[in-house]
Structure 1
Amino acid sequence: MTRLNYEHNGSKKTDSKMSLLSYRVSDFILFNIFFLLAFQNAFQKLFGGAFAYIDEFSALLLCCWAVFSMHGHKTRYCMISRYLLLINSLLLLLGLCGNLLYKLQPAYQAIAIDAFACSKFIISLISSVVILQKRSVIELASSFAKLILPLLLILYFLNQFIDLGLSSGERLGYSFLFGHPTNFAATVVCLISILLLDVKSNRLFIVCGLLVLCATGRFKAIGFAFIIAAAVFLYSNKKKIPLSFILLAGCGALFLVYDQISLYFFDSTTARSVLLSTSFDVANMHWPLGSGLATYGSNASADYYSSFYYSLGFPSVYGLGPMNHDYLVDSFWPAVIGQCGYIGLLLVAIIFVLLFSMSRKAVDHGVPLWASFAIPIYLLIASTSEASIFSSYSVLLAMTFAMLTADSNPFHVGESDE
């Protein structure tokens, strides 16, 4: 195992040989948090109970750890961190004002749950970047990725001939031990992203990961796999994303998911189409604040199904009813538009811009291009029909993104862009 440092030109340099004794206890603790987050959905399916709250507990733990680590030290943040915290705070304030004004969600517990769901990605990202400075957990995660991805691919092929119970049906595809292929795909994306730190050495492992990703049968995962494959095999040595790549990746991904886009957004009878079109009506009815947190398209709004949904006629739409609300929680932009209005839509768009800016700064400080941009790209793709930064796997993505950028970006304690 080697410790990797990335020079300003993005090349890998072997710094020193490391044994397990070279790691600190905190490195192993952080890796265990990463491992639990990566396999949370599998543990939840197998054991249930407290495993369903691993992401929330991890977000709080990372936040407390970051605050403790900053205690007694002079701390400054670059403008990106300040903007992320500010924008997220404004988004929460907007939603809470909508709750106070329109009172569509009577359950305060639901509002609190949704507020935390909307914040845990930013909280985890900021906290992880503070904690992960000069730590070696990325190396443990990289070694784990090299071990698990080939194993997952082997098990997938075995599962075609022997029923190992690792699939979720013909349509949904390979899910390993996870409750749903979507969560499994997010974990595989994180493992692939870590290996992108050294494409030349990890190319075979990356290919294994991309094949596993395609085996999930999720169109978003397949689209991401296509983009990363193009990056690895055609644009691996680039220092900036070329226009030709954007055109190639965009057209290719659009071709792969066009049928799903048509089904979700242009067929007025489907749940996702209804959810999206109605979100604009909700935003217009509750201009300019939106309907408030836990009122539209979020997981909390489904668990605490309110009379507001009845007034919208959702119980008559398959997948949006009180007993079958699978598609009600399977959205991102409709939830943002409905709950926080057009101002909220602008704020969330700014969050994505800041994430890509953070990737750009990491590249400027030596992190390989595709490793820096992989997580924001996947979050943007996932936002088309998943909860993205509001999802249960968002803490895992935040921690992975921090691991990929922490050692070389200006987003950490002690440095500032001011």
Structure 2
Amino acid sequence: MKIRIYKKGRNEVLFEIAYVVLIFQIALQSSSIQIISKIFNYIDDVIAVCCLLYVTLSLLAKKKCEKSDRRILYIYLLFVVTGIVGTLRLRIQPFSIWGLDLFTCSKFIVGYLSMRICSSRVNKDFLKKSVLSVTRFMVLIYFVFAIHDEFMSPFFGIFDHRMFGKSIELFYPHPTYLAAACIVFLLILAVTCDRGNNYIYMIMSSVIIIFTFRAKAIAFVAVFWGLYLMIEVWKIKNKLIYATVSLLLAGYLAYDQFATYFMSKTWSARAVLFADAASIAKKYFPFGAGFASFGTNMSVVSYSPIYYQLGYNQIDGMSKNTAAYLNDGFWQACLAQFGVLGVVAFIILILFLLKKTMQYRISDVGAMRYFSMLSLNVYLIIASIGELAYFAPYALLYFIVLGIIFDENDKIVSENRRC
């Protein structure tokens, strides 16, 4: 297999550095070396602040922003306003806390919009030139370690045993974060795949994801390769079939986990959180309790007063010192903090992102690009049931990459029209 080395400009080099840093951030912020842990604990915040400044200055300068992206921005601003209204009405947290929660919850959209606004700096081969080589290298290293830890005495920790194997995590603090990194790898490898030259790396990434034995991650792999068969191999052209089959396949594979979390007669932290979130939304209808009040990382760090009211401080795994379960679901946080209006706004935002993804024609951008973008959207929807997903640490990188893929798609479509 020939390895082509691309000449990189300043933008490609800067993105490559940011990409590698964000891939390893969660692993390094868990380092036992205190100085490394402190530095990498705030790296994504620094990158997000840079993105926010760029978006703000660009909008003030009236830089061009596509109509579909303006709609995404407006609906997200509506979502934020519902949170701010709830925050100011109840004043559960001081500004120093809820302001940070607002920033944390907005990282994904800021990352996405910054890449869309700076689309003029992105050519149709930007990802191929900037991060393809380093992605292949990392996949190879991860794969070697994954095979070793799955079938031999592990170098790194084993989180637990599920299904028929060991749930590996390598140097990450949880298998979910390993899966998240490899999903980014798979996405980039797919959209830069030229005549099948990335297939072996895509298969290796898929194997690593499966070895985490997270139901939602395995569902992503199934949806990804299922869409590959439908679009690339079987040449099915109906977009409604893609979306329907993807959701049904993901739902089927994740159903057991969903049933365990929400339908089991035994105690489940996620079920308790969802029931209490619904009660909060009903109590403070229609806006919710506001930022940093329930279910987000900042609500855990500051240990929201609502948790004391609900008696969580007396429950192992939900108390201030053992708060492992309190941020274990996106929709719980969304419902409690933003209320019914916020949930409706965010569902519309997800639909706008799906519409944006599906607006491209396969004949223009290629099957690989199309089903990769669709797979990522489906994965985030599924992941939101059991983790923060859109508010998670990995969301910033996901949406930066998604924004760049949209930029590349626009360049490809533009070139095709000129031909």
| TM-score in terms of structure 1 length | 0.86
Q: Assess if the C-alpha contact under 8 Å between 1:97 and 1:289 holds in 2.
A: yes
Q: Assess if the C-alpha contact under 8 Å between 1:283 and 1:291 holds in 2.
A: yes
**Distance in 1 between residues matched to 2:255 and 2:316, nearest whole Å:** 22
Q: Assess if the C-alpha contact under 8 Å between 1:182 and 1:218 holds in 2.
A: yes
Structure 1 pair 312–366 and aligned structure 2 pair: CA distance change class (3 A): same
Q: Assess if the C-alpha contact under 8 Å between 1:145 and 1:192 holds in 2.
A: no
**Distance in 2 between residues matched to 1:104 and 1:114, nearest whole Å:** 13
What one-letter code is carried by the residue in structure 2 that aligns with 1:191? F
Tell me the CA shift for residue 207 of structure 1.
Answer: 1.2
Tell me the CA shift for residue 255 of structure 1.
Answer: 3.5
**Distance in 1 between residues matched to 2:346 and 2:60, nearest whole Å:** 30
Tell me the CA shift for residue 253 of structure 1.
Answer: 2.9
Q: Assess if the C-alpha contact under 8 Å between 1:372 and 1:405 holds in 2.
A: no
Q: Report what 1:193 is aligned to.
A: 187
**1:313-352 paired onto structure 2 within 5 Å:** 313-352=311-350
Structure 1 pair 265–318 and aligned structure 2 pair: CA distance change class (3 A): farther
**1:19-58 paired onto structure 2 within 5 Å:** 19-20=5-6, 22-46=7-31, 47-58=36-47
Q: Assess if the C-alpha contact under 8 Å between 1:42 and 1:179 holds in 2.
A: yes
**Distance in 1 between residues matched to 2:57 and 2:137, nearest whole Å:** 33
Q: Report what 2:134 is aligned to.
A: 144
Question: What secondary structure, in the 3-state scheme, does the structure 2 residue paired with 1:294 have?
Answer: coil
Given the alignment of the two structures, is residue 80 of structure 1 paired with residue 68 of structure 2, yes or no? yes
Greater shift, 387-396 or 129-138, is seen at 129-138
Q: Report what 1:177 is aligned to.
A: 171
Q: Assess if the C-alpha contact under 8 Å between 2:357 and 2:373 holds in 1.
A: yes
| TM-score in terms of structure 2 length | 0.86
Q: Report what 1:98 is aligned to.
A: 86
Greater shift, 202-211 or 61-70, is seen at 61-70
Tell me the CA shift for residue 95 of structure 1.
Answer: 1.0
What one-letter code is carried by the residue in structure 1 that aligns with 2:351? V
Tell me the CA shift for residue 306 of structure 1.
Answer: 2.8
Q: Assess if the C-alpha contact under 8 Å between 2:274 and 2:332 holds in 1.
A: yes
Structure 1 pair 240–312 and aligned structure 2 pair: CA distance change class (3 A): farther
Measured against aligned partners, the alpha-carbon deviations of 1:253-311 in whole angstroms (never above 9, x if no partner) come to: 33332221111111362110010111111001001111111101111111111332222
**Distance in 1 between residues matched to 2:92 and 2:55, nearest whole Å:** 36
Measured against aligned partners, the alpha-carbon deviations of 1:306-340 in whole angstroms (never above 9, x if no partner) come to: 33222223234442222211111121001111111
**Distance in 2 between residues matched to 1:67 and 1:103, nearest whole Å:** 27
Measured against aligned partners, the alpha-carbon deviations of 1:367-393 in whole angstroms (never above 9, x if no partner) come to: 531122232122112111111111111
**Distance in 1 between residues matched to 2:300 and 2:333, nearest whole Å:** 11
Measured against aligned partners, the alpha-carbon deviations of 1:4-24 in whole angstroms (never above 9, x if no partner) come to: xxxxxxxxxxxxx9754x321
Unaligned runs of 5+ residues in structure 1 are 3-16, 411-418
Q: Assess if the C-alpha contact under 8 Å between 1:125 and 1:402 holds in 2.
A: yes
Q: Report what 2:116 is aligned to.
A: 129
**Distance in 2 between residues matched to 1:337 and 1:345, nearest whole Å:** 6
Match of 2:159 among 165, 168, 175: 168
What one-letter code is carried by the residue in structure 2 that aligns with 1:167? I
Q: Assess if the C-alpha contact under 8 Å between 2:292 and 2:304 holds in 1.
A: no
**Distance in 2 between residues matched to 1:275 and 1:177, nearest whole Å:** 30
**1:398-409 paired onto structure 2 within 5 Å:** 398-409=399-410
Q: Assess if the C-alpha contact under 8 Å between 1:363 and 1:372 holds in 2.
A: no
Unaligned runs of 5+ residues in structure 2 are 412-419
**Distance in 1 between residues matched to 2:117 and 2:311, nearest whole Å:** 46
Tell me the CA shift for residue 251 of structure 1.
Answer: 4.1
Structure 1 pair 395–273 and aligned structure 2 pair: CA distance change class (3 A): same
Q: Report what 2:219 is aligned to.
A: 223
**Distance in 2 between residues matched to 1:43 and 1:241, nearest whole Å:** 44
Structure 1 pair 210–241 and aligned structure 2 pair: CA distance change class (3 A): farther
What one-letter code is carried by the residue in structure 2 that aligns with 1:28? V
Match of 1:303 among 284, 301, 312: 301
Q: Assess if the C-alpha contact under 8 Å between 1:196 and 1:370 holds in 2.
A: no
What one-letter code is carried by the residue in structure 1 that aligns with 2:23? A
Match of 2:148 among 158, 163, 183: 158
Measured against aligned partners, the alpha-carbon deviations of 1:84-128 in whole angstroms (never above 9, x if no partner) come to: 2112212221111111111222x3221011101121111110102
What one-letter code is carried by the residue in structure 2 that aligns with 1:168? F
Question: What secondary structure, in the 3-state scheme, does the structure 1 residue paired with 2:295 have?
Answer: coil
Greater shift, 360-369 or 347-356, is seen at 360-369
Structure 1 pair 396–363 and aligned structure 2 pair: CA distance change class (3 A): farther
Greater shift, 394-403 or 310-319, is seen at 310-319
Tell me the CA shift for residue 28 of structure 1.
Answer: 0.3
Structure 1 pair 313–240 and aligned structure 2 pair: CA distance change class (3 A): farther
Structure 1 pair 240–350 and aligned structure 2 pair: CA distance change class (3 A): farther
